[in-house]
Structure 1
Amino acid sequence: MAPTVLLADIGGTTTRVARAGADGTPFDTRLEANDSYGSLEELLRTYLASLSGEAPCCAALAVAGPIDGDVVRLTNRDWRFSVQQLAGDLGLRRLEVLNDFAAFAHGLPLLTRDDLMEVGTGRAVAGAPMLLCGPGTGLGTALILPRDGGCEVIASEAGHMRLGAVTTDEARIVAHLVRDLGPVCVEHVLSGPGLVRLHRILSGEQLSSHAIIKAALNGQMQEKESCLVFLRILGRVLGDLALAFDAKGGVYVGGGIGRAMAHLFADSPFRAAFEEHPPYHDRLSLVPIHVVTHATPGLVGIGEIGRRLLREV
């Protein structure tokens, strides 16, 4: 049997786990709730025990947190592990670990037109930097720098930048969050938990992010208003980042919350807020923006890393 690689896209709330062969295409894919496991090792052991045939010889993991050395900690979950020890415990010859949005970025070139939804218009500048950003359990970000024959991916923790206010309603939101949380960062609003906080401040209701988005898509006005404010803030923050990195190659919005809200973008203030950065409105109006609608783009990206890994072992 041909060797396989274990793949996992490990978020704060859920983990998508699969394996792949020499082409890097995920199969035997499962979606696991992290709350069902005490550790990442337990989750991966349970998955491996369910497989038939020869166990994967190596693994590639995408982790929602910074990768600074052998010990990896998730940002929005109390999980940590040693890369070297995990490889030994699982009997792997090689184990590669990437930030989740860095892994996602490696998969962008593999997505098709059907996996993307354009927001507004624009024209990418060939060879220019591209920005990937997406709200999920937190706010993931990565920068893609095209290079001859490929690209360089730079992971980022831009979701932890401080959040400021531009309008009076945003000032009210930030004031509430400062009272509740102390110093406010971007992902305190631009994430699934952030949408819950935002809706509670605006409406007084406590609903899950899924319920808020579902109601907004069904035309419920209060929930829709919360989503529109969310998208306005997201547009402004992405405009900030696009200017910071001169992302004339395009901006891509990923993450589970971004994908769930895909059909709200067109009639929202998102694009206007993205462009409203005087004196650079015209500059930003030329930047193309796409929402990534593929269900498992993180696995596509980490599958590409796994494909390369299999060639080396």
Structure 2
Amino acid sequence: MSHLILIADIGGTSSRLALVGVDGVPSDIQIHRNDSFAGFESMIEADLAARDPAAAHAVRGAVLAIAGPVDIEEVRLTNRDWAFTRPELSARFGWDRLAVLNDFEALAHGVPALGADDVVTINPGHAAPDAPCLACGPGTGFGTAALVRVPGHATVVKGEGGHVRLGAVNVQEARLLAHLSRAFGGTVSVENVLSGSGLARVHQVFSGDRLESHAVIAAAEAGDEEALESCHIFLRVFGRIAGDLALLFDARGGVFLAGGVSAGLVPLFAGSPFMEAFLEHPPFDERLAATPVSVITHPTPGLFGAGQVGAGLARDGLARDGLARNGLA
């Protein structure tokens, strides 16, 4: 227990925190409602105070996965007025190692450790050894990250795929984009459609009904034709964008669809136009047909990925201590 890392998957409404060592396996996962705390520091303080004192004392660093931009000096949580700087947070808790990751960046780090029970296969394909893997999907917005393998290790390239401009490829999509263009003042981005609120917008445009995304999915599963059509329109756009991104990142190692909306749509992928749209990228149809596509159903993939990064920090800490004991640090 000499080196533990606190890992956290911090969402807009709730957060999951756990401890991890060199094995990368999260232990003692605690779930906190964000409304109970004034900010990051108070939540972390309460979490550590509730843990075994010996374990809390052994925490030497942290990995925080956050829904929002992280490559700035002051990190802010999207949809909540929480902010911190790395130096201030590290000093407050006495950490000598702190990694702050975008939520999809963390998720992509965990992709290699996902097992067969953690995913639902949409297209089995044939994964190319050592090829990049793509993680993408709708949630509050549309997240994108790729795991790229290089000799000796893997690195994650994060992106802002949700803010790419969205185009239409058929009359139905043109109608949707015309409506959204008026609503958003001109520019329509990917996440205006591919997000939880985006599915609700699609359904409202084509049915006139205002429903939350989970209600649209439930109605579609129950046989409501309008809701099913809305989900199929959504899945067609999703398939096309996933195919675009798979080609952009050369993701022959696999495409992993993530987020609560993707998981909720699992029963509707079969018979939907998702794969047809995914493959419609001539002249690379055959390459995409060979690309495995799965939906992540692991309950805490962001925390799982943060654990993989945390394991590296724990190993670095042990190595540093070893050098110090031998007078080499």
Q: Which TM-score band applies after superposition, normalised by the shorter structure? A: over 0.9
Distance 1:29 1:207 in 2: 33
State the distance in 2 between where 1:269 and 1:43 align: 43
The answer to whether the Cα contact below 8 Å between 2:123 and 2:291 also exists between their aligned partners in 1 is no
In structure 1, C-alpha distance between the alignment counterparts of 2:279 and 2:72, rounded to whole Å? 38
- Give a deviation string over 1:243-273, Cα, whole Å, max 9, x none: 2222222211111211121221122110000
Deviations 1:124-173 (A, max 9, x none): 22222221112111111111211234312111111110111112121121
Q: Give CA deviations for 1:94-142 in whole Å, capped at 9, x if unaligned.
A: 2211122121111111111111211134212222222111211111111
Q: Residue 233 of structure 1 aligns with which residue?
A: 237
Identity %: 50
Give per-residue Cα distances to partners, 1:31-58, cap 9 Å, x unaligned: 3343444423333233223223132332
Give the C-alpha shift of residue 77 in structure 1: 4.2
Q: Structure 1: state its 5+ residue gaps.
A: none
Q: Is the 8 A contact 1:120 1:266 kept in 2?
A: no
Aligned residue for 2:10?
A: 10
TM-superposed deviation, 1:72: 1.6
**Structure 1 position 220 matched with structure 2 position 234:** no
Report how far residue 276 of structure 1 moved: 1.0
Report how many aligned residue pairs link the two structures. 313
User: TM-score, normalized by length of structure 1?
Assistant: 0.92
Aligned partners of 2:133, 2:80: CA distance in 1, in Å? Answer: 28
* TM-score of the aligned structures, taking structure 2 as reference length: 0.88
Distance 1:143 1:226, change over 3 A: same
User: What is the root-mean-square deviation of aligned Cα atoms in Å?
Assistant: 2.0
Q: Which residue of 2 aligns with 1:48?
A: 48
Cα offset, 1:74, TM superposition: 3.3
Once the two structures are overlaid, the 10-residue window that deviates more, 289-298 or 242-251, is 242-251
- Give the letter for the 1:105 counterpart: A
SS in 1 for 2:123: coil
1:61 and 1:302 in contact (8 A); partners too: yes
CA contact (8 A) 1:71 1:80 kept: yes
Give 1:78 deviation, angstroms.
4.0
How much has 1:66 moved relative to structure 2? 2.9
Larger radius of gyration: 2
SS of residue in 2 equivalent to 1:301: helix
Structure-2 residue corresponding to 1:150: 153
Structure 2 gap segments, 5+ residues each: 318-329
Q: Could you tell me how far apart the structure 2 residues matched to 1:157 and 1:295 are?
A: 23
Aligned position for 1:113: 116
Residue of structure 2 in register with 1:296 after alignment: 300
Match of 1:194 among 169, 187, 198: 198
